[in-house]
């Protein structure tokens, strides 16, 4: 009996050590030369964890089979039925995580003109949505009823898409208004003009440093540069001062 327990404990220990060694080797190979890339780094971490879990579970199964062989008489036939589905589910999770990271990076790069906080929030949201979709697909692979999750996820995705469309729509209207105001201002102002702009928060006096699609850049007498919205400048009625 003691020998059986020694073999069982040894099987678990070998499984854990094999998992650690395999996970470390896999992580090193996948991140070789790409340690600064978050997509490769996180994907490699996910695959390394999957490798560790696989070997550890294998060791535990061997230990249980040694301790109670009768309960494992039908294991081979069961494995043939369930192993492909569980392997597929694991691959879906790993691939989903990698795709989520890549999609988040693409979204973050596409919003380079936005604030750091907005970029981070958008990237996090995209990663969460893709990861959630991968989890639902993986659960469906192992036989879990995901109808309710699919309905909830679809409703959430529709709500987010509608909110994003509204934000883009209202933002687009604002940008279009600024561009239209800028087209008129280029007929009135020129780069280098000394202007006086009576804004509600105070009069701005300085030299026009640039006329941009949505703003007028003014270099104030103190040397500071200010970007004023075209619509605000147009509404204030800028006055060009004599040189």
pLDDT less than 70: residues of the chain = 1-2, 34-40, 42-43, 67-84, 109-116, 118, 146, 148-150, 152-153, 155-175, 243
Residues 38 and 138 in one domain: yes
φ, ψ for residue 160, nearest 5 deg: -65, -40
24 part of a folded domain: yes
* pLDDT score, position 237: 86
Residue 42's domain comprises 2-168
177 part of a folded domain: no
* pLDDT score, position 146: 65
182 part of a folded domain: no
Distance CA 42, CA 183 (A): 47
178 part of a folded domain: no
How many helical (H) and strand (E) elements, i.e. helices and strands, does the chain have? Answer: 6, 5
Residues 33 and 104 in one domain: yes
Residues 120 and 15 in one domain: yes
Residues 161 and 195 in one domain: no
Q: What is the CATH number of the domain that holds 227?
A: 2.30.30.520
174 part of a folded domain: no
| Residues 202-243: tens digit of each pLDDT | 888 899 998 888 888 999 888 888 888 888 888 888 888 886
pTM of the model: 0.46
SS3 label, residue 35:
coil
Dihedral-angle region of residue 29 (phi above 0 means left; psi in -120 to 50 means alpha; beta otherwise): alpha
């Amino acid at each position: 009996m003691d020998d059986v327990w020694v073999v069982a404990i040894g099987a678990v220990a070998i499984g854990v050590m094999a998992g650690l060694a395999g996970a470390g080797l896999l992580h090193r190979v996948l991140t070789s030369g790409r340690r600064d890339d978050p997509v490769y780094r996180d994907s490699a971490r996910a695959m390394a964890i999957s490798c560790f879990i696989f070997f550890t579970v294998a060791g535990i199964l061997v230990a249980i089979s040694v301790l109670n062989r009768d309960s494992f008489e039908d294991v081979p036939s069961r494995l043939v039925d369930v192993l492909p589905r569980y392997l597929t589910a694991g691959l879906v999770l790993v691939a989903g995580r990698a795709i989520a990271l890549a999609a988040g990076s693409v979204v973050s790069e596409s919003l380079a003109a936005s604030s750091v906080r907005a970029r981070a929030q958008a990237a996090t949201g995209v990663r969460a949505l893709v990861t959630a979709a991968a989890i639902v697909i993986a659960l469906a692979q192992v036989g879990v009823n995901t109808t309710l999750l699919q309905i909830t996820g679809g409703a959430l995705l529709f709500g987010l898409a509608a909110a994003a469309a509204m934000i883009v729509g209202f933002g687009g209207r604002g940008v279009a208004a600024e561009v239209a105001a800028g087209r008129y201002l280029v007929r009135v102002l020129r780069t280098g003009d000394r202007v006086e702009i009576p804004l509600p928060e105070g009069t701005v006096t300085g030299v026009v440093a640039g006329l941009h699609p949505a703003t007028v850049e003014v270099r104030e007498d103190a040397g500071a540069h200010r970007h004023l919205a075209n619509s605000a400048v147009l509404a204030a009625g800028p006055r060009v001062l004599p040189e």
